[in-house]
Structure formats: C-alpha cells, structure tokens
Chain A
Amino acid sequence: DAGVTQSPTHLIKTRGQQVTLRCSPKSGHDTVSWYQQALGQGPQFIFQYYEEEERQRGNFPDRFSGHQFPNYSSELNVNALLLGDSALYLCASSLRVSGNQPQHFGDGTRLSIL
C-alpha cells in the first residue's frame, strides 16, 4: 500500500524563479493538503484540494497556487520565489468526509532559494 509520495526530494532555485512540486496521495485517499514548514516551526497550512477544486486556503499570497488532477494527485506552484520561501513543503492526504480524518504526510520537498 503506497503512502504519500512527493517529488522532487530537494530543489534549489534562485529568487524570482518559479517552481512546481508534485504529490500523489495515499491509495484510497481523495483529498490533498499542502503545508509549508520553516526551520524550527510547525507546518503551516497552505491550501487543500478535493474534487479538483481548492476548498480552503491558509494565509499565503496568490504566488502560491495549486491543482488537483482526476487521479487525485496534486501540484503546488510557487511564482516569483523569495528567499523566505525556503522551507520544507509537505503534502498530506486524507479521505474526505470530515475533519476527523487523520492526515498522512509524504516525505516532503526541501526547497532552497539562493
């Protein structure tokens, strides 16, 4: 039973560039959430996708956008990268129905901005 998979594992970009991160949810899960985790901090919610639509969004600028595909996989896009975007980006999947469902995290993508 495959868990949540993310790619790439590591990524180095420069300021102003754009990046796309990818996530495949755990088998049987239909909802994907993205989180940003800065060093020494807890993860912060970016947004969540279900049925190919953004359902809820955290306090992140429009530079952060996403997409969900019919197979439930998802992409996170970040435009005009800033130094402060350097972080671990985590994808979590769950089964829609209620907020009671625990979320399971992938291994993350570590993004470094130079």
Chain B
Amino acid sequence: QKEVEQNSGPLSVPEGAIASLNCTYSDRGSQSFFWYRQYSGKSPELIMSIYSNGDKEDGRFTAQLNKASQYVSLLIRDSQPSDSATYLCAVNPPSSNTGKLIFGQGTTLQVKP
C-alpha cells in the first residue's frame, strides 16, 4: 500500500462546476496535510494546508480532512480553465519531526470551457 494515494485521473469537469479531488494516507498518526498545484513544467505551488478534522475554506478552495477515515480532499468551486493542472496531496508523517513530506502521484484536472 502506498503511503499517500491519489487517483491519477485525468479528472475532467466543465467550466463553472465543482471539482473534487481525493487523497488517502496510510499513517494514522499523520498531523499535517497539504495540497499543492503543479502546472506542466513548473514547480509545486502550495494552495492549502489543513491540520484539524473538518473543512477549511480559502476563496474557491475548500480542504476537508477526516483523520478517522485517513482521507483528505480538495474542492474547487466555480472551476476555471486556469485551474487545469496536477494537484498533489502531501502528508507530513508522524515519524518525521523535520517536515519531510510524502506526496501522492497527483491528480490531473482538466477544466473544459
């Protein structure tokens, strides 16, 4: 079992729709969770961090965390073609006190005009 798993996609949604990206992790004691966006040929860009169960909203983005189910998701409301990118889920495992991140393989999102 991979430490952090994401569906590689591509996930295709029409412009204006809600895009839902999902991620599961294997280490139950993980405490810190991050979503990064990566455009083709570019480096990852931090878009959301979440540390507690529940929802965290920032503009059109909402991160959701359920530690009991070891599940974290990212919702993008009113999706725009500029949101088309690969979204990486990253987890800081409890075995690390140095901020080491374990990444999923990423989900490719395509927003069609």
Contact = CB atoms under 8 A, between A and B. Distances in A.
Given A42-B104, A43-B44, A104-B46, 6 more contacts: A35-B101, A42-B105, A45-B100, A88-B43, A94-B99, A102-B46
How many B residues touch the partner, as a band?
Answer: 20 to 34
A31 B103 contact: no
A105 B99 contact: no
B78 interface: no
A112 B105 CA distance: 21
Chain B contact residues: helix, strand, loop or mixed:
loop
Interface in B14-59: 31-32, 34, 36, 42-46, 49, 51
B43 A45 contact: no
Given A40-B105, A42-B88, A100-B32, A105 B43 contact: yes
Contacts of B103: 35, 42-44
Interface residues of A, number: 30
Contacts of A92: 101
Interface in A28-76: 31, 33, 35, 40-45, 48, 50, 55-56, 58
Contacts of A98: 97, 99
Contacts of B45: 105
A84 interface: no
B96 A99 contact: yes
